[in-house]
Structure 1
Amino acid sequence: MDFNLSERQAQLQQRTREFIREQIIPLEKDPRQTPHGPDESLRDELVGKAREAGLLTPHASEEMGGLGLSHVDKAIVFEEAGYSRLGPTALNIHAPDEGNIHLMELVATEEQKERWLRPQVQGRIRSCFAMTEPSPGAGADPSMLQTTAVRDGDDYVINGQKWFITGAFGASYVIIMAKLEDGSATMFLSDMDAPGIKLERAMDSLDSCFTGGHAVMRFENLRVPGNQILGEASKGFRYAQVRLAPARLTHCMRWLGQARRAHDVATDYARTREAFGRALGKHEGVGFMLADNDMDMQTARLHIWHTAWLLDQGNPCNFESSRAKVVCSEAEWRVVDRCVQILGGQGVTAEKEVMQIFMDMRSFRIYDGPSEVHRWSLARKLLSAEGAH
């Protein structure tokens, strides 16, 4: 593995960095941000800026209108985009759209791609992914899936309730995980305005960076034609892993950018703020926190780059992406937590952007699997000699 950036990667990194600093960060105080994420008009403006800059949906294939980034390329670009909480929205690489685009490119039919994927890559529409359910349904354990899909002629009739569905409000289509009559899991595609889909309520949450927020939704006799199965019937759990392994890693990339932003703010403050006769950063307690931040960010970056490199070699990386997700979510959280401490009163108020980063990032240790579930899964694989590459 070569840690030197190619000329193309270095140029792409610089382009993204300048775009975020010059065009996106100035919009962070825009009043069109709501407790449930940027509103649609702000999202449209952000996406328009990325489109003009040639940076929209860079992870999609060139055939679909993206830049065809490799996983290592994504590690570089997504970190830069994550430097602003609005950056991933602007580049159309935020969850759940980023993971849905990846999955659709791999398993959707040509008809499905033209109907849903191409306009999504163009930033014209958004999507959501409906798997998580209230108890006793699927959560960290997807095998507890309760939503059903019953065959009726050439159609399937879907019933069930989902929640924590990111981006559901305002989404144009949904990927639904449901179980067939034999108990196997299958993914279905549906327009969100189809009869039988009911958005019950928006859920209040710590984070407010996802357009459309998080929803509770219900399927009541939703009729889906058989040609709207995503991929093959009964392979839903397999496709979930195809989607989740890279998606866990892209979360790590984006949040690393946010951790770096918080660290930069805290470092600048520690250089200029004086206390007890010297700059704050020259006090050992504060200086050590900055040093620990640097170590945590570098550890996270190495896990990200190594796992991305393995994915580019064609490895499935279920083990490595789980490991990276735990290491990065906890390391990046520690960085932001220290930054709040360094900033003192400014860290717990909107005087600095670090407070919002802190609130947004806490959820990362739960999204795409809590740390405890990943540790349990890693331990099982280690004990069965199915460890890392």
Structure 2
Amino acid sequence: MTGRFAENIVHADMDAFFVEVERQRDPALRRKPVVVGGAGRRGVVAAASYEARKYGIRSAMPMGQARAAYPNVIVVPPDHRRYAEVSSEVFSIFRSFTPLVEGLSFDEAFLDIGGLSHHFPDPETVGHALRKTVRDRLGLPVLVGIGVNKVIAKLASESAKPDGLFRVPKEATLDFLHPLGVRAISGVGEATHAALEGLGVATMGDLAVIPVATLVRRLGTVAGNHLHRLAQGIDERPVVPAGETKSISASETYEYDLETPEQVDTELLRLCDRLGSRLHVAGLTGATVTMTVRYADFETVTRQERPTQAVVGAHDLWLVTRSLHARFDWDRPVRLLGLGVAQVQDAESPVQLSTEFDPRWENLTGAVEEVRERFGGGAVGPARVVLRSPQAGTGKTDE
């Protein structure tokens, strides 16, 4: 076969990723209602198996609500270090098929497979080969959606659930797209949906016949033109290889509010250690650090800083966190703490190091991770964290 495939975009989604990794570790969890998340009174569901979803349980649901929906649901605490390791293996497989891989998160990516037309007879064969490789090497399922562009491929992967492949032929793009509800399109939130309902729009087909001028008047120039083009099946965004993730973050919702500076500092150090470990395991560095605090009254404050040197581990994160510390009000009870690192890139890429860079911290990080790799994530850590029990955090979120 010559030339590129007509349907050259794949959306690969490691559906229920956390649950499937846990099932790989403990086969007794298979075919049972399982959720991964915090078990305390403020715990949150991070991932739910299809068996659990039958009871109305879903991601981001409070754990108490999930237990009320099905009291016998099995709750497994998250192991984000393990998830990061498996994610790296998944993306290595993706890149073994094509270098054109754009990571959307640690378990989801777009692939441009157009250049594989010289090696495979059709896009579906590529998709099946990708699924088989992930299954054979890692024992995990992956949803595959195939279409002419990103938006169609992503919608196709929704139709591939559970654990399947769905291809939308180029000539059937509008037949596939137009019956779908407008809420199926990413970015159509409550306000936009309400405005479209006011125009009598329920499906993408309804949207396609609305004049673009009407959409621009109602939604604004950018949103109006964007939705008009999507309704015609047009999405010209290319697959941009930018690493597995553009940012990573970790947050904790505490079962009991943090009320003393000592509690706050210990939990911030714990987050730095957790996020720094993920950076090291994934082989990443970052350029910008974001710190988030949610107080007991649910007011949320976020501050950001770009340090003079690349963030390569927990020590760097801690230094930036101390700098950001003064920009928050610590006289108020704290419900949630979060840290994020943005503008990430491979650690092997050239980075800016300050004149104060001390290689001993990097060596220490490597030694710590070797111990954790051999004896488990809790085998070693900062003394302040190891000697003090966690503040009953129940809503871990790592992205």
Question: Fold conserved (TM > 0.5)?
Answer: no
TM-score if structure 2 supplies the norm length?
0.29
Larger Rg: 2
Which structure features the higher share of helix residues?
A: 1
